[in-house]
Amino acid sequence: MEGRVRIAVLGADGRMGRALTRAVLAAAPRATLTAASERAGSAAIGKDVGLLAGTGAVGVAVSGELPTKGAADVWLDFTAATATESVAVAANAACAGLVVGTTGLGAHARAAIEFAALKIPIVYDANYSVGINVMLKLIADAARALGPDYDLEIMETHHRAKHDAPSGTALRLAEALAEATGRDLTSAARYARHGDVGPRTPSEIGIQAIRGGDVVGDHTVFFLGGGDRIEITHRASTRETFAVGAVRAALWVMGRPPALYAMRDVLGT
């Protein structure tokens, strides 16, 4: 066990939770799964987390409570926006590192993360795919090179069960475009067009959401010029890509000074 990062998976019986379990197990010997939890009343409580993830028994039973102090070095939280505030408070009390991938967070949850990051190291990002984080750099470079003559639009597609819209990743893409072009996203973002809205303004960054089926996550950024257009697209075909990135973040954050980090810090981009 020496030298391994001990990891806890929260929301272990969800689709993302199972993917995280598989990713932690695949990261051995650098990582070891030492705790797993689910919401109170879940049918998964007491079951072996490995069996839930389809990997075979690993000797870790799912608990109905968050991990206790000392149970894990780093917690992986991809649960629900309503739970993130309490997770951040509990991780802080347990002195555990935290990797948060839950999107659609409210002001209280974000404040709880920022406060906890004064004492523990936290990686918080909307998307843990290495490809998306490379895309963030590509679109920023493209926006600067193409200049104001190109209109900027974002289209994202997710499965029918996703709660928040637009996706956290789409918002992060919009932030990258705004930063690269010197725009204030609060005033530049255009989330919907309906009826006689008039011509598009040069400063707009359009962000549109599609929901349906079992789409894991597609994001396209359009650069629309007078005589041509460029499209940069990332398509996630499996949640494993996010899980692998999250485990990479957990291995990286272990032992870091207390602070709020992003995936770009993990990747050094």
Q: Write out the catalytic residue numbers.
A: 158, 162
* 54-63 long-range Cβ contacts below 8 angstroms, 24+ apart: 54/18, 54/22, 55/21, 55/22, 55/25, 58/25, 58/33, 60/33, 60/34, 60/35, 60/36, 61/36, 62/12, 62/13, 62/36, 62/37, 62/38, 63/35, 63/36, 63/37, 63/38
User: What gap in Å lies between CA 137 and CA 262, rounded to an integer?
Assistant: 14
**Which residues sit opposite 211 in a β-bridge?**
158
* Helix, strand, coil in percent for the chain, rounding step 5: 35, 25, 40
6 burial (CB, 10 Å; 0-12 / 13-18 / 19+) is buried
CB neighbours of 170 closer than 8 A, spacing ≥ 6? 154, 156, 207, 209, 219
CA–CA dist 121, 96 (Å, integer): 8
